[in-house]
Protein backbone atom coordinates (compact mmCIF):
# COMPACT_ATOMS: atom_id res chain seq x y z
CA UNK A 1 0.00 0.00 0.00
CA UNK A 2 1.19 3.54 -0.71
CA UNK A 3 0.28 6.64 1.23
CA UNK A 4 -0.27 9.96 -0.55
CA UNK A 5 3.44 10.75 -0.17
CA UNK A 6 4.21 7.63 -2.23
CA UNK A 7 5.71 5.66 0.68
CA UNK A 8 5.10 1.91 0.77
CA UNK A 9 3.80 0.54 4.07
CA UNK A 10 1.63 -2.24 5.48
CA UNK A 11 -1.03 -0.32 7.36
CA UNK A 12 -3.20 -3.27 8.22
CA UNK A 13 -0.91 -5.64 10.11
CA UNK A 14 -0.91 -3.73 13.40
CA UNK A 15 -4.46 -2.47 12.86
CA UNK A 16 -5.83 -5.98 12.25
CA UNK A 17 -4.03 -7.31 15.31
CA UNK A 18 -5.47 -4.43 17.36
CA UNK A 19 -9.01 -5.13 16.11
CA UNK A 20 -8.66 -8.83 16.94
CA UNK A 21 -7.45 -8.01 20.45
CA UNK A 22 -10.42 -5.68 21.02
CA UNK A 23 -12.89 -8.28 19.78
CA UNK A 24 -11.42 -11.11 21.88
CA UNK A 25 -11.53 -8.93 25.01
CA UNK A 26 -15.11 -7.73 24.37
CA UNK A 27 -13.95 -4.11 24.30
CA UNK A 28 -16.65 -1.97 22.65
CA UNK A 29 -15.50 -0.54 19.32
CA UNK A 30 -16.63 0.21 15.80
CA UNK A 31 -14.61 0.09 12.60
CA UNK A 32 -15.25 2.38 9.66
CA UNK A 33 -13.36 2.88 6.43
CA UNK A 34 -12.33 6.18 4.97
CA UNK A 35 -14.17 7.05 1.74
CA UNK A 36 -12.30 6.19 -1.44
CA UNK A 37 -12.44 9.88 -2.39
CA UNK A 38 -10.39 10.93 0.67
CA UNK A 39 -6.92 11.51 -0.77
CA UNK A 40 -4.18 9.75 1.17
CA UNK A 41 -6.61 7.71 3.25
CA UNK A 42 -8.08 5.32 0.64
CA UNK A 43 -8.50 1.79 1.93
CA UNK A 44 -7.59 2.64 5.51
CA UNK A 45 -9.59 1.95 8.64
CA UNK A 46 -10.58 3.99 11.65
CA UNK A 47 -11.36 2.26 14.95
CA UNK A 48 -13.63 4.25 17.24
CA UNK A 49 -13.84 3.50 20.96
CA UNK A 50 -16.60 2.75 21.88
CA UNK A 51 -18.64 3.75 18.80
CA UNK A 52 -19.29 6.35 16.11
CA UNK A 53 -22.21 7.79 18.09
CA UNK A 54 -20.12 8.66 21.14
CA UNK A 55 -16.43 8.33 20.30
CA UNK A 56 -14.03 8.81 23.18
CA UNK A 57 -11.11 8.17 20.84
CA UNK A 58 -10.18 6.92 17.40
CA UNK A 59 -7.22 4.88 16.22
CA UNK A 60 -5.91 5.18 12.64
CA UNK A 61 -3.00 4.34 10.37
CA UNK A 62 -3.08 6.38 7.18
CA UNK A 63 -0.88 8.69 5.14
CA UNK A 64 -1.21 11.56 7.60
CA UNK A 65 -0.88 9.68 10.88
CA UNK A 66 2.13 9.54 13.18
CA UNK A 67 3.84 6.20 12.61
CA UNK A 68 2.25 5.28 9.30
CA UNK A 69 5.62 4.83 7.60
CA UNK A 70 6.23 1.95 9.99
CA UNK A 71 2.68 0.58 9.86
CA UNK A 72 2.01 1.88 13.37
CA UNK A 73 -1.12 3.62 14.63
CA UNK A 74 -2.02 6.94 16.15
CA UNK A 75 -4.82 7.72 18.57
CA UNK A 76 -6.78 10.92 19.00
CA UNK A 77 -8.74 11.30 22.22
CA UNK A 78 -11.91 13.36 21.83
CA UNK A 79 -13.22 13.49 25.40
CA UNK A 80 -11.93 16.17 27.83
CA UNK A 81 -12.52 13.98 30.90
CA UNK A 82 -10.44 11.19 29.35
CA UNK A 83 -7.68 13.59 28.25
CA UNK A 84 -7.43 14.90 31.82
CA UNK A 85 -7.52 11.39 33.34
CA UNK A 86 -4.68 10.29 31.06
CA UNK A 87 -2.68 13.39 32.01
CA UNK A 88 -2.45 14.53 28.39
CA UNK A 89 -2.30 18.10 27.14
CA UNK A 90 -5.68 19.42 25.95
CA UNK A 91 -3.92 21.03 22.99
CA UNK A 92 -2.26 17.77 21.93
CA UNK A 93 -4.69 14.87 22.38
CA UNK A 94 -2.87 12.77 19.76
CA UNK A 95 -0.25 10.08 20.37
CA UNK A 96 1.41 8.19 17.55
CA UNK A 97 3.77 5.33 16.81
CA UNK A 98 1.61 2.77 18.65
CA UNK A 99 1.84 -0.94 17.94
CA UNK A 100 -1.18 -3.20 18.48
CA UNK A 101 -0.31 -3.99 22.10
CA UNK A 102 0.21 -0.33 23.02
CA UNK A 103 -3.02 0.68 21.27
CA UNK A 104 -4.94 -2.09 23.03
CA UNK A 105 -3.65 -1.05 26.47
CA UNK A 106 -4.49 2.56 25.71
CA UNK A 107 -8.01 1.67 24.53
CA UNK A 108 -8.65 -0.05 27.87
CA UNK A 109 -7.24 2.97 29.75
CA UNK A 110 -9.50 5.29 27.77
CA UNK A 111 -12.61 3.29 28.62
CA UNK A 112 -11.60 2.98 32.27
CA UNK A 113 -11.02 6.75 32.47
CA UNK A 114 -14.62 7.30 31.38
CA UNK A 115 -15.92 4.62 33.73
CA UNK A 116 -16.48 1.97 31.06
Determine the average pLDDT of the residues in 76-85. Answer: 95
Enclosing H/E stretch for 58? strand 57-60
Enumerate the domain spans of the chain: 12-113
What value does the mean pLDDT of the chain take?
85
pLDDT tops 70 at residue 88: yes
Q: Is 94:86 a contact under the CB 8 Å cutoff? A: no
Determine the average pLDDT of the residues in 28-42. Answer: 76
pLDDT tops 90 at residue 44: no
Q: Mind listing the pLDDT tens digit for each residue in 12-32? A: 589 888 998 999 999 999 988
| Nearest CA among 107, 91, 90 for reference residue 99 | 107
pLDDT tops 50 at residue 3: no
Q: The whole model's pTM is what?
A: 0.83
Amino acid sequence: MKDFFGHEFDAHTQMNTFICKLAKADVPFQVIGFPASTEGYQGTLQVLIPSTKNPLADFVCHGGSYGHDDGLMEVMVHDKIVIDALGWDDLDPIKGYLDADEAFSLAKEILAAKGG
